[in-house]
Structure 1
């Protein structure tokens, strides 16, 4: 079974998120979404999410796309990768802050998932920062 992992805050679900999740799901048998913790989002984006972790998780569950939704680790945002050991990690076209240390962390933890950066879906329209 091929495990695919995707990450995000998913604070304001929009068609770009649906596209991202559906594309990621195509790469394997099981899509595991790691939902960013409030603290991590604040650290990476400079502000807290509008919705709580519970609400954001429920919003993702309603889509029926992810097979499993996990909250990220509060202290070590890469630890979940070590725990789940995905075969593939799908990244959004604009996911840069989380991914800066990703390759280094994977190497340090002796993990070798395939990294796939997905193409955007109408990013001039459906980008979270533009929709807020």
Structure 2
């Protein structure tokens, strides 16, 4: 069983790469969606927690999507009890700190990091923030 996690505000090809790579680490992929109030390292998600979870749950690569715990990242990890946690290649999480927390909680789980992905063609967007920025720029330019 594999666990991936993230904000997943607007799903883009970088997310699909991450989730597909994570899924290759086991038979079942669980994804934990960060709660809006817990996202402090970047802009707050536009979409509600449940919506982001529901979109991920609809992806064929994802077996089950969950909304994270309001106070403790490790509560869903303990409940899911994965064999592997796959971090996104650019996520701010410290893999060694996660390993230490897992040991302290008695969880035997490998922690690895997904590879990055370059755009497959000119103009492909692999960043939620870049998608939002382009939308805002276009709407301001077009007077919408």
TM-score by length of structure 2 reads 0.79
Alignment partner, residue 35 of structure 1:
33
Report 1:76-115 matches (<5 A).
Answer: 76-97=72-93, 99=95, 101-115=97-111
The alignment partner of 2:58 has SS state of helix
What is the CA–CA distance in structure 1 between the aligned matches of 2:54 and 2:8, rounded to whole Å?
11
1:26 corresponds to which residue?
A: 24
Residues 1:44 and 2:32 aligned together:
no
Question: Larger relative contact order (C-alpha < 8 A, sep ≥ 6)?
Answer: 1
Compared with structure 1, are the counterparts of its residues 35 and 28 closer, same or farther at alpha carbon in structure 2 (3 Å cutoff)? same
- 1:26-45, CA deviations, whole angstroms, 9 ceiling, x for partnerless residues? 1111000001111111x332
> Aligned residues, how many?
128
Report the aligned-residue RMSD. 2.0
The question of 1:127 aligning with 2:127 is answered: yes
TM-score of the two chains, using structure 1 as the length reference: 0.86
Gap runs ≥5 in structure 1: none
**Between Structure 1 and Structure 2, whose CA radius of gyration is higher?**
2
Name the structure 1 match of 2:13: 15
